[in-house]
Amino acid sequence: MTRLALFFALLAAPLHAVEKPNIIFILADDLGWADTTPYGHTKYYKTPNIERLAKRGMTFTRAYSASPLCSPTRSSILTGLSPARTGITTPNCHEPQVVLQATPGKAAPPSKKSISPTPVSRLKTEYFTLAEALKQAGYATGHFGKWHLGAEPYSPLQQGFDVDLPHTPGPGPAGSFVAPWKYPNGFVPKSPGEHIEDRMAAEAGAFMEQHKDGPFFLNYWMFSVHAPFDAKKSLIENYRASANPADLQRSPTYAAMIESMDAAVGTLLDTLDRLGIADKTAIVFLSDNGGNMYNEIDGTTPTSNRPLRGGKASVYEGGIRVPCIVSWPGTVAPATRSDAIVQSSDFYPTFLDLLALKPQPDQKFDGISIVPALKGGALEREAIFTYFPHDPPVPDWVPPSVVVTQADWKLIRIFHGGDSGAHRWKLYNLRDDLGETTDLAAKEPERVKQMDARIEAFLKDTGAVVPIPNPKFDPATWKLEDEGKPGIRNAPKRKPAATADDTADPKLQGWRARNSTAVVKDGIVHLTADGADPFLGFGLSQTAGPATLKVRLRSQTGGPGKFESVGAGKDPAAAKSVAFTVAPGEWQELTVELPVKGPLGIVRLHLPATKQAVEIDWIEITAAGKPRRTTF
């Protein structure tokens, strides 16, 4: 071939795949803005690999999740759309009910001024996801870790990913971060005591090696640092020795979880360096919402988001401002910082922009391309919006609301939170008042009016299903001063999910104790009642009944018990149970048939409420013809 012919052949040939950068999207779970060292607000947690990543790219000081809860933010990353548009506004995507369209709510307690909408529970496959866009552009696509946007037929394998591991729809790791864990699809540890994040990082590394000639899209959505709160025991002890009782960040268990999360980031960076493809790989590191301030571990909250107010499940800054680092060789200068306001819905249009890919016909985004900021310039945007029409009773909770952030100003509209069904507003200047301590709404009525007009336009554009006034609201049950105080919602008191005493021992293998303390010693569960109705619960939302329970147990005094399925989540009418009696004294095997049909949801093994511990050797549940035995 002549030189001229070779020249024209090269012009006609398609670009080689490796000329497209590989993309790694690392999404931490519940990692607070103040939980990583590049932000300068922690002395206790150690994140040297995240610092290492920051040296390769740009650290954003004003990055926001689309929601203060995980599933809505995850949907925003994959679609570029606001939760207001998708209708995914709560982390309910592991529940058995399939809801594809948000609808107005039907009822609320008399202590609430508004009724929250019924949210969507699956990411619809009609959306053309980021993974599908990259796959169409020639990328190998792999999802590793947490999904929480729906089981099949809404899993990663139906949303543009070639690989999904461990292919689970649940909200967190299956029972424990440290093996033995329990996944329903046979995904088992390779070694005793293996940490799930070590395993996920290794599997992600193998995917990168397999596709090292590129391009690949690695979607590594970590289980860390979501509940259950457990970690490698050696790391916990290391941090226990250095914990400062005066520091708001003082949980050794959480600090150990942070270290394992950071080590997984290090594994990915080491793999890129070893394969010689670091300069051809873009990396995004983000968290799905702010740090957890409502559970308890080691006698304290998991973390503190100070100087920010609030945390996960709150629309104050602590719930939605998150760590974000972007490394993109050739585009992003290393070791730089940006104060530009960016949001999780921005990354999809940003990737299309940088890769010169066109969106689908009639495809729209609520996010924007942040390429100007990545290149060190200013970012032109009018505002960002956070839609959260719910009010879980966490510290600093806000009634169902929507937020607009515009430069230094932040306005919270509380739906129907004023008098006679009118809205109510909170206004903060984040430049002067980062901790959101002074509400300026009364002093700035014109600014409130202008910013609220943006909110109204946003809600109209997205077609958001919004809260409606509660016709049964009773002013006698409501006090403004109770707003933001955890647990003051006229809700029945119960032990919160994933507390220290139900998840501290990974040998429970996913079973959780309620109204009781469960400790495993020498392969036996010792269940001690803390209340009138002690029980063990286990999630089986993807398994249908009827079910058979077999259990080997011993109780010195004996007493009544029951096996129960709560198959419809919040619908108490769907609960089915069968009573049994535990004889006193000797070890015994009980068999209970539960004739419930449909999804089992959560199964509960209620046991006698006695002063002496009930001992349990093993529990076996058979449903759909498959026995599931837990040997402790």
3-state SS record for 383-407: CEEEEECCCCCCCCCCCCEEEEEEC
Distance between CA atoms of residues 446 and 101, nearest Å: 36
Average pLDDT over residues 316-341: 97
Q: Is-above-0.75 flag for pTM? A: yes
Helix and strand numbers (H, E) in the chain are 13, 23
If one compares 133 and 542, the residue with the highest pLDDT of the two is 133
Instruction: Identify whether the C-beta of residue 96 lies closer than 8 Å to the C-beta of residue 376.
Output: no
252-275 vs 196-210: helix crossing angle, rounded to 10: 10
Give the tens place of pLDDT for each residue, 384-429.
Answer: 999 999 999 999 999 999 999 999 999 999 999 999 999 999 999 9
Q: Report the SS3 class of residue 60.
A: strand
Average pLDDT over residues 280-299: 95
Give the pLDDT confidence score for residue 578 in this predicted structure. Answer: 83
Instruction: Indicate the pLDDT class of residue 517, thresholds 50, 70 and 90.
Output: confident
Distance between CA atoms of residues 182 and 410, nearest Å: 43
Distance between CA atoms of residues 214 and 207, nearest Å: 11
Average pLDDT over residues 185-213: 94
The architecture that CATH gives domain 511-631 is Sandwich (2.60)
Instruction: Indicate the pLDDT class of residue 542, thresholds 50, 70 and 90.
Output: low
Give the pLDDT confidence score for residue 456 in this predicted structure. Answer: 98
If one compares 272 and 574, the residue with the highest pLDDT of the two is 272
Give the tens place of pLDDT for each residue, 162-197.
Answer: 999 999 998 888 878 999 887 877 789 999 899 999
pLDDT of 2 > 80? The answer is no
If one compares 522 and 350, the residue with the highest pLDDT of the two is 350
Average the pLDDT over each of 2-6, 557-561, 601-605 and give the range with the smallest value: 2-6
User: What's the CA angle centered on 240, arms 299 and 35, to 5 degrees?
Assistant: 75
Which range scores top for mean pLDDT: 230-239, 497-506, 525-534?
230-239
pLDDT of 7 > 60? The answer is no
pLDDT of 8 > 50? The answer is no
If one compares 475 and 507, the residue with the highest pLDDT of the two is 475
pLDDT of 235 > 90? The answer is yes
pLDDT, mean over the chain: 89
Q: What percent of the chain has pLDDT over 90?
A: 69
Distance between CA atoms of residues 326 and 258, nearest Å: 20
Give the tens place of pLDDT for each residue, 12-34.
Answer: 433 333 379 999 999 999 999 99
Q: Where in the chain is the domain with CATH 2.60.120.260?
A: 511-631
Bridge-based pairing of strands 58-64 and 512-514 is unpaired
Instruction: Indicate the pLDDT class of residue 260, thresholds 50, 70 and 90.
Output: very high
Residues in a beta bridge with 520 = 525
Q: What is the dihedral of CA 489, 493, 497, 502, to 10 degrees?
A: 160
Q: Report the SS3 class of residue 101.
A: coil
Instruction: Indicate the pLDDT class of residue 488, thresholds 50, 70 and 90.
Output: low
Give the pLDDT confidence score for residue 541 in this predicted structure. Answer: 64
Average pLDDT over residues 2-13: 42
Tell me the C-alpha to C-alpha distance, in Å, between residue 175 and each of 294, 511, 600. Answer: 20, 7, 18
pLDDT of 108 > 60? The answer is yes
Kindly report the number of other CB atoms within 10 A of residue 625's CB atom.
5
Q: Where in the chain is the domain with CATH 3.40.720.10?
A: 22-84+123-377
Q: Is the dihedral of CA 71, 75, 76, 77 positive or negative?
A: positive
Distance between CA atoms of residues 235 and 232, nearest Å: 5
Give the pLDDT confidence score for residue 632 in this predicted structure. Answer: 78
> Roughly how many angstroms between the first and final C-alpha of the chain, as a whole number?
71
Average pLDDT over residues 450-467: 98
Give the tens place of pLDDT for each residue, 45-94.
Answer: 999 999 999 999 999 999 999 999 999 999 999 999 999 999 999 999 99
Average pLDDT over residues 502-523: 75
The architecture that CATH gives domain 22-84+123-377 is 3-Layer(aba) Sandwich (3.40)
